Amino acid sequence: MINEERLVKLFLDLCRFNAPSLAEAEIVAWTKAHLIELGLEVWEDNAAERLGGNANNLIAKLPATGPDLPRIFFSAHFDTVEPTDRLVISEVDGVFVSDGTTILGADDRAGIAPAIEAVRSVMEDGAPHGDIYLLVSVAEEIGLLGASVLDFSQVEVDYGFVLDTGPPVGTFVNQTATHDKLTVKIFGKPAHAGKEPEKGINAIQVAADAIQGMSLGRISAVTTANIGTIEGGTATNVVCAEVTLRAEARSLDLAELDQQIEHMRSRFSAAAATAGANVVFDHHRHYTAFSLSESEPVVQKAQAASRALGFEPALRHTLGGSDANIFNARGIPSIVVATGMDKIHTHEERISRIDLVNTAKLAVEIIRQCSCR
């Protein structure tokens, strides 16, 4: 049985750790000690060395009570999208919020806490289960980096559940987009902006000409594109000779994504050619889409658990990524479980007490459904 106050305390304890990406050592150490105290087998991999951060991914295992039951995992991530060193938490009408000066950090402590409470509840109740792993990653917010280097050599699982998306609880993400990143460097020609500007080629102007008329934002129901940053220039009296732009595109449709990237490249190339500038592209696939059918065991177990608790087990897609993209790409079927965290990546981030409890209950029911022969 879920212990509500224990769950809430764990959630709040986790939220109070300031753990931006690549600086999660303190929360990892605390969580590791907590899981060891609960009696789980716990270890770390070498993610810190591989990523240049100060913390590793944390792996915990509750061994099976009987043979031939599915081996499952619950996953979440330690890091937050920005620092929370000034975090002040309050509960308003059953909803946890910050004071508005920082994010709350429910993304993804609202995944970690219910997963741990669910495993603890199963241990206390003596319910049968196969091997249950907890995989808690670092550096998720800056590109799913922790999951991408997670050492699976000692993790034998059949499928898993990633607690890392928004409401309503009881719903699941079974399809996500492919995400491409594009860095564009435009090389113009410097000149004195007051004495002889006609001898220069302004890289900022080339970028502006390229962007003018470029399809950005919502391209279609399944595709988006964005130019996020632009850097360049040295002084107002110098014709800008070099600009770097960073862009992205995402889509559920791979052909549409490739078409969008080619459209963006062609706009920059044409503008550079017209001005006599040069352009260099760095294009890479950040992560790959996945799509799980309703016939997949991981989907069936998730939906059965949701129905058993009286939720509506809707399946949905998202253009956002999660560690599930990495796990699925490795051939491990993984579905994303809604936790109830809302308005993430903003200072209005929030999660209700009841959603925390219901997420933990859902995790327990998932374990039960996976243990049914």
Cα 250 to Cα 319: distance, rounded to the nearest angstrom: 6
Helices (H) and strands (E) in the chain, counts: 10, 17
**Strand 159-165 vs strand 72-77: parallel, antiparallel, or unpaired?**
parallel
Angular region, 232: left φ>0, alpha ψ -120 to 50, beta rest: left
Helix (H) or strand (E) holding 47: helix 47-51
Q: How many CA atoms lie within 13 A of 125 on its CB side?
A: 16
Cα 128 to Cα 373: distance, rounded to the nearest angstrom: 11
Buried b (16+ CB within 10 A) or exposed e, 321-356: bbbbbbbbbeebbbbbbbbbbbbbeeeebbbbbebb
In the beta sheet, which residues pair with residue 132? 62, 72
Cα 110 to Cα 129: distance, rounded to the nearest angstrom: 23
Cα 296 to Cα 329: distance, rounded to the nearest angstrom: 15
3-state helix, strand, coil in the chain (%, to 5): 35, 30, 35
Positions annotated as catalytic residues are: 79, 140
Q: What residue type is 65 in one-letter code?
A: T
Cα 212 to Cα 268: distance, rounded to the nearest angstrom: 10
Q: Hey, what are 290's tokens?
A: 């996945």
